[in-house]
Every structure is written in structure tokens, then in C-alpha cells.
């Protein structure tokens, strides 16, 4: 069916005539603007925790734009990569600024994404009907980790080279296919020119396309079901109060109210971002490690190899899985199987018992290094299951039992401790702490169906609680 052209008063302002001309010829764009901006009603009680989603989108744009300019002068060649980065820093006009924007942006991306995910965790944004929104978000996080890992090799410094060497070699621990899998990823028997070219291709083309697609899917899924809020009240539910036009009384149009709200957040973020970029781009060796200012040398291993800070909590879990730790994991699997036998209905008792027996047999037969890789990957994958692990009657932390807040606080502290231990060289006390931290991390999620039901919840209001500010 053809689109009907809208007439406009001949005496209308020129701007209005231009807008009308475009709207008549590209109505899809204008309807999308209405659906996702001016007529998309978001809860009126958003707080500062809701800024980080738009900040993540901003950083994604910064990374894409700066990445395009970096590629103009970068050479994906093992002999020339490090020198090309130095050329960008020293000889390309404003090249140092573009490079520091990209390196600072990588850390900023993970900071805002971690905060964005934490907001979803405390306010129950993964609960029905937003399960798919959460799954797309976790997939974005996974793609972001792949993008960061592949980009980390490109400067071809000492830490880039040896960090990639260590991580790629982990895949060799996979039974049967491990050596071939590691060879496929490297493209050679050692990390070299073939590896650099593969990682460059994925970092510049493949993963960004996947990332952009997932971001679009994340936003479309969110706007289809509506945004959550700190109270966990569904403002678009059939029984929610609405005005004469069918718009929720507890909502406001995203534009202009939250676009202005986000612009303020962007201004604060850019102030902090610029301060780091201009005055502390290495950030004490956490954003840019000092060893990475030394050209990659396959014959000179650094004293201590550690990934960049945003991977260190998961790297700490990897290192925590030792031969001794395997006995603790076997005990956990045995207890889980016993619990399933005692509590599961009917045939599920046999399934739980058989599953536990097979799991224990595999854990005894396969080297601990492989299970370290499984634990590291599982720490991310388990996030996908969160919507089906939480059985609490309410969504938001505001109306959960008070001790839930303490538990979430311990979870955050534990994550920070694991991250810090992942930066340090291995030492006996750190190993024990990281093992306890790993058990707590997985226990937090795997025991959630039990602990999330415990305690008396507070009554949730019928409408959102809003205080103008």
C-alpha cells in the first residue's frame, strides 16, 4: 500500500517544509523516531543507575570512530605492527589522541557495562518479561570480551604477545580436540603473523558487526516490553493507570525528558574520560600495561603475565582451579547430586544421581587445567541463566529482605577481590582466597533458587515512587 503524502501550508516555515518533504519520502525513519523516542514512555522514576546504558552506546560509537582512524595507519604485520603504533603515537597528527581515546575507551566500555549489568542485577531487570533483553545483554558482554581480547594482541607489545600466548594455549587443554583447536585459533604453531592477521580481521570486521547487531536487538527487545524501574512496577501492564490517550500515567516520553537526563550524564562522563585520557592514559599500568610499551619478544618472557584488568576476575577463577581445588568441586557436585536425589520428583532423582556420577567421573579423569577453562567460561555463561534462577516474589532490591542487600554487597566485594588477585603474581594466600571467592561466585547463582525465596519481602507499591529532582 502506497504511503499517503501529507500536505503542508505553503506559508509554513522553511524548516517545517524540509521536514515534511523528508517525512513524505522516508516515513519509516520518522515512525521509528516516534516509537523509540518521542512516543516511547519510560518510567518517570529512573535514577542515575539508568545512565550507563546510553553511556555504553556512546563508548561504542567512540570505539568505532577512533578504530576507523587507527586502521588507516596500523599495519597488521608481526614485523611492523609495534612500529606502526609508535608511528601513530609520534608522527600522525593527533594520532596520540586517537590512540588514547581508543585505549581509554576500552576500559571505559567495561566500566559502564559492568555498572549497567549491576543495575540490572539489583533491580531485577532480567525478570519476566525481559528475559530476552537480558540474554541479548549477556551476548553483548560475551562479544565485547572477544573484541577486547583480539584487540589486545594488535599493539604487538610484550604483554599483548604473551597474554595471547597464555590464553590461546588454554584451549589446548580441551580433551581430544584441544591441540587442533589452539592451532586453528593461532593459525600457526606459535602466536605470530597468522595470529595477528586473524585477530585483526575479527577485531575490525566480524565481531563489531555481531556487536552492533546484538545492540540493535537489545534495544528493540527492550522497547517492545518496556523499561524496568527501581520499584519493579510494570507501568505498561493492562491494569496500570493510563491517560485518555492510553499512555501510562507513571511514564514520560523518552524524548525530551530522558535525552536531557542522559546528556547531563554524558557531560559528566566525558569530563572524567578526558581527565584520564589527558592526564593518566596508562592509569597506573591498569589501562595500558608498561610491558606493552616494549616490542613483543618470543625469546623474553615477562616476569609476570596477566590480562588487562577487566578480565582479571575470570582469570583469577581460572588460576583457582588446582588439583587440590578439584576435590572441593567434586564434593560440591556430590552434594548437588544428593540434594537432587532427595528433593527431585520421580525420574529426576535418577537423572540427578546419574548426572552427578558422570560429572565426578569426568572430573577425576580430566586434568584440572581443563576445568579451570570450564570455570572461567562458566562464570560468564551462568549469567545467561539468571532469569530462571531468581525465585524472589519481588524484582527490586528495594523490597527484598534487608540481608539481600548485604549479600549483593559481598558479591561485589568478592568480584573486586578476584579482580585484584588476578593482577598479582600467584602466591599461596591469594590462591586460597581466590578459591573461596570462586566458590562464592558460583554459589551466589547456583543457590539463588533457594536463598532468593528466604525472608519476608516488603509490599511493592501499586505505582512508582517518584520524587522530582
Residue 469 pLDDT: 55
pLDDT for 49:
93
The reported pLDDT for the residue numbered 407 is 96
**Cα 428 → chain centroid:** 30
> Phi, psi (5° rounding) for residue 74?
-85, 145
Cα dist from 281 to 36, 157, 274, whole Å: 36, 17, 9
Residue in the block written with cell 596520540: 96
DSSP string, 17-65: HHHHHHHHH-HHHHHHHIIIIIT-EEETT--GGGGHHHHHHHHHHHHHH
pLDDT at 350: 82
Residue 107 near residue 273, CB atoms below 8 Å: no
* Cα–Cα distance list, 20 to 33, 36, 256, 413 (Å): 14, 20, 21, 55
Question: What is the CATH T-level fold of the domain 32-280, as seen in this structure?
Answer: Cytochrome Bc1 Complex; Chain C (1.20.810)
The reply to whether 223 sits in an annotated binding site is yes
Q: How far is CA 95 from CA 160, 279, 434, in A?
A: 20, 16, 40
What pLDDT does residue 2 have? 56
Residue 223 CA to residue 214 CA, distance in Å, equals 14
3 state SS of 204? helix
Helix (H, G, I), strand (E, B) or coil at 209: helix
For residue 79, give the C-alpha cell: 614485523
In DSSP terms, which residues pair with 157 in a beta bridge? 295
Rounded-to-integer distance, Cα 166 and Cα 191, Å: 10
Burial (CB count <10 Å: 0-12, 13-18, 19+), residue 72: exposed
Q: How many CA atoms lie within 13 A of 105 on its CB side?
A: 22
User: What SS3 class is residue 175?
Assistant: coil
Is 204 within 8 Å of 146 (Cβ atoms)? Answer: no
- Check residue 3 and give its pLDDT: 63
Which one is the CATH code of 309-451: 1.20.810.10, 1.10.730.10, 1.10.357.10, 1.10.10.10? Answer: 1.20.810.10
pTM: 0.93
Is 203 marked as a binding-site residue? yes
* Domain range annotation of the chain: 32-280, 309-451
Spatial distance between the Cα atoms of 453 and 392, rounded to a whole number of angstroms: 5
CA dist list (Å): 442 to 43, 293, 380, 447:
33, 36, 10, 8
> Whole-angstrom Cα distance, residue 372 to residue 323?
10
pLDDT (0 to 100) of residue 468? 64
Residue 25's pLDDT is 80
Q: Is 261 annotated among the ligand-binding residues?
A: no
According to DSSP H, which parts of 347-391 are helical? 348-365, 368-381
User: Annotated binding residue at 218?
Assistant: yes
The answer on whether 116 is annotated among ligand-binding residues is yes
Residue 3 CA to residue 53 CA, distance in Å, equals 35
What is the mean pLDDT for each group of 10 consecutive residues in the chain (469 residues)?
70 83 83 83 91 95 96 94 95 95 96 97 94 97 95 92 88 86 88 92 95 96 92 88 86 90 94 95 90 90 87 94 91 88 79 87 88 93 95 94 95 97 92 95 94 92 79
32-280 shares its CATH topology with 309-451:
yes
Amino acid at each position: 500500500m502506497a504511503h499517503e503524502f501529507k500536505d503542508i501550508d505553503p506559508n509554513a516555515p522553511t524548516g517545517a517544509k524540509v521536514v515534511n518533504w523528508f517525512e513524505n519520502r522516508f516515513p519509516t525513519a520518522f515512525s521509528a523516531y516516534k516509537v523509540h523516542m518521542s512516543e516511547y514512555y519510560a518510567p518517570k522514576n529512573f535514577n542515575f543507575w539508568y545512565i550507563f546504558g546510553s553511556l555504553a552506546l556512546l563508548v561504542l560509537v567512540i570505539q568505532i570512530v577512533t578504530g576507523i582512524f587507527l586502521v588507516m595507519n596500523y599495519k597488521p604485520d608481526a614485523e611492523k605492527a609495534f612500529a606502526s603504533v609508535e608511528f601513530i603515537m609520534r608522527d600522525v597528527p593527533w594520532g596520540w589522541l586517537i590512540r588514547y581515546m581508543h585505549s581509554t575507551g576500552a576500559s571505559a566500555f567495561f566500566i559502564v557495562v559492568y555498572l549497567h549489568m549491576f543495575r540490572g542485577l539489583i533491580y531485577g531487570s532480567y525478570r519476566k518479561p525481559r528475559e530476552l533483553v537480558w540474554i541479548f545483554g549477556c551476548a553483548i558482554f560475551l562479544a565485547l570480551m572477544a573484541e577486547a581480547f583480539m584487540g589486545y594482541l594488535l599493539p604487538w607489545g610484550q604483554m599483548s604477545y604473551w597474554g595471547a600466548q597464555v590464553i590461546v594455549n588454554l584451549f589446548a587443554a580441551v580433551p581430544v580436540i584441544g591441540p587442533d583447536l589452539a592451532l586453528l585459533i593461532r593459525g600457526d604453531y606459535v602466536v605470530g603473523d597468522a595470529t595477528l592477521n586473524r585477530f585483526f580481521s575479527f577485531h575490525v570486521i566480524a565481531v563489531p558487526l555481531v556487536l552492533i547487531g546484538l545492540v540493535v536487538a537489545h534495544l528493540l527487545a527492550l522497547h517492545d516490553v518496556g523499561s524496568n524501574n527501581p520499584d519493579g512496577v510494570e507501568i505498561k501492564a493492562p491494569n496500570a493507570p493510563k491517560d485518555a490517550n492510553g499512555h501510562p500515567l507513571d511514564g514520560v516520553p523518552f524524548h525530551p525528558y530522558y535525552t536531557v537526563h542522559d546528556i547531563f550524564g554524558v557531560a559528566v562522563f566525558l569530563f572524567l574520560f578526558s581527565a584520564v585520557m589527558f592526564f593518566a592514559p596508562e592509569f597506573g599500568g591498569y589501562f595500558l600495561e608498561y610491558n606493552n610499551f616494549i616490542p613483543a619478544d618470543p625469546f623474553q618472557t615477562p616476569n609476570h603475565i596477566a590480562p588487562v584488568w577487566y578480565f582479571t576476575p575470570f582469570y583469577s577463577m581460572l588460576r583457582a582451579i588446582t588439583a587440590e581445588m578439584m576435590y572441593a568441586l567434586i564434593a560440591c557436585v556430590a552434594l548437588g547430586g544428593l540434594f537432587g536425589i532427595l528433593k527431585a520428583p520421580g525420574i529426576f532423582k535418577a537423572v540427578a544421581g546419574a548426572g552427578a556420577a558422570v560429572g565426578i567421573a569426568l572430573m577425576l579423569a580430566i586434568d584440572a587445567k581443563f576445568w579451570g577453562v570450564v570455570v572461567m567460561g562458566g562464570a560468564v555463561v551462568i549469567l545467561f541463566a539468571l532469569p530462571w534462577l531468581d525465585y524472589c516474589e519481588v524484582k527490586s532490591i528495594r523490597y527484598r529482605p534487608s540481608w539481600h542487600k548485604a549479600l549483593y554487597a559481598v558479591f561485589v566485594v568478592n568480584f573486586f577481590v578476584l579482580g585484584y588477585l588476578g593482577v598479582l603474581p600467584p602466591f599461596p594466600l591469594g590462591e586460597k582466597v581466590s578459591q573461596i571467592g570462586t566458590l562464592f561466585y558460583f554459589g551466589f547463582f547456583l543457590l539463588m533458587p533457594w536463598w532468593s525465596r528466604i525472608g519476608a519481602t516488603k509490599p511493592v507499591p501499586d505505582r512508582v515512587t517518584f520524587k522530582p529532582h
